[in-house]
Amino acid sequence: MFLTPKPRHIPMKNAPLVVLTAIVLAATGCSKTEAPAPSATPNTSTAPTTSTAPAANTGSSYDMVAANGKGFSVGALMSAQAVYVLFDPQCPHCGRLWQASLPLHNKGKFVWIPISFSPAKSLPQGAALLISANPVEAMNAHEQSLLAGTGGMAASANVPEELKQAIANNTQLLNRLGVDSVPFLLGKHRKTGEIVSFNGALETAALANLLGIE
């Protein structure tokens, strides 16, 4: 089961948000209170249903994630403005956001920060992704498998302690942000520099619009 919050930005203190005018995929996400269940059938509905929205957090959420999140970087690595995405490797909505972001890799830097709602599978997979020599290739293969309903990448259950701790810290970071479902995205609008955030999956055009990427 998945949360389906109404598509909207999550307000951050002292950081006006850019209004998202593009039509989004359904702003759905995988909740920590409900186990993610991979599905081979994408949800293409654009009619949102109301649910509990994640709470706003005080302070600079963007800077908090930049300073404390441990992830892997893809895309235009020299870009000065990174886009941070907290995700669970077992969340199919995170997989759809990954696929939507691929056409934008030549225009922006994306830092994917794994958290773990289901330690038996998402913890080993998150650790494997963190240490992958080719994270784009690894994520592509993983998300294709996940969305096909075959569970994602094979990963060793013997996770080094430092990687366990890093993913535990990432999960605590999500909690500190007051967010209870993933994917959760934080970035800076390319043109205005304003902090933007989104909780759920987006189509490529809507993601580009959110980030001010042309």
Compute the distance between CA of residue 82 and CA of residue 64 in angstroms, rounded to an integer. 13
Radius of gyration (C-alpha) of the chain in whole angstroms: 16
Tell me the pLDDT band of 55, cut-offs 50, 70 and 90. Answer: very low
Question: 50: burial class by Cβ within 10 Å (0-12, 13-18, 19+)?
Answer: exposed
pTM value is 0.78
Q: What pLDDT was estimated at residue 32?
A: 65
Distances (CA, A) of 152 to 20, 37, 124, 161: 31, 12, 11, 22
Spatial CA neighbour of 28 closest among 57, 62, 51, 61: 51
Which DSSP letter does residue 103 get? G
Least confident of 37-51, 147-161, 177-191: 37-51
d(CA 65, CA 103): 24
User: For residue 108, what are its two tokens?
Assistant: 């922006």
Q: Are 167 and 115 in contact (CB under 8 A)?
A: yes
Q: Using the predicted structure, report yes or no on whether residue 145 has a pLDDT greater than 70.
A: yes
Segment 70-86, tens digit of pLDDT: 999 999 999 888 999 99
Q: Which domains does the chain have, with CATH numbers?
A: 30-35+61-211 (3.40.30.10)
Q: How distant, in Å, are the alpha carbons of 16, 167, 168, 190 from that of 70?
A: 26, 8, 10, 23
What's the pLDDT tens digit per position in 74-117? 999 998 889 999 999 999 999 999 999 999 999 999 999 999 99
The pLDDT value recorded for residue 54 is 38
Structure tokens at 2: 């998945």
- Supply the pLDDT for residue 33: 59
**Beta 109-114 vs 82-87: how paired, if at all?**
parallel
Q: Tell me the H-state helices in 42-134.
A: 61-68, 92-101, 122-130
